[in-house]
Structure 1
């Protein structure tokens, strides 16, 4: 599957720019200036106990791992919402993590000049995902 919209061709350039600034990755914005994903994965944030991820609007690949994380967290009782998010929302997040086929669930430990710790939601999401993966014996992971 290929990423849709104009974000995919820019992913490599985004990573290079992020690395030149001392980061591993960067937020990708859609044509309206809202957060869509990172240069290489889907993105989640937590604020006041609510888990949020950008609403799938056709400008980015809403990945299989993202979908699985949404299902698992909702099933575990988390308040999970697909919403329009801005970079300012992420700047004020209590917790940020990514999801993708390669890394599965990965905490974000720095956003601009702010250090972040791996939070309980990212830890639980990874635990739920790995339990699910083991239960399916690697099928559809």
Structure 2
């Protein structure tokens, strides 16, 4: 079972680090397999809205997404994700971001066009698939589509 420290704190006062709590729980017979920090190694990832999407003219599998992520300008990001649609709100690693894998995002050129970031799947963000709904596990997870399903 996974339990969030924040969730536990709603029910009991916890004045120790997560590691100390795990040790104390193990000593009383509740085995703690691991302590995980969500978002470790993740920097600069924001959400953005796909304002326009079209096929890349030189590729059968790439899409050109025009993204609004609150920077004051619309930014072009190329993606190979096949489940992205106009008006989707998705995780975006902008230029300068870092992913849990250690990858740092920089401007890229794909088939002759510039891409100023990357649309991120849950896996790329280091989110365990066990924590996701089945429809969130493949490709890019859109907030808009998830809310529509609820």
**TM-score class, shorter:** under 0.3
- By percentage of residues, which structure has more helix? 1
What TM-score does the superposition give when structure 2 sets the normalisation length?
Answer: 0.25
What TM-score does the superposition give when structure 1 sets the normalisation length?
Answer: 0.27
Q: Which has the larger radius of gyration?
A: 2
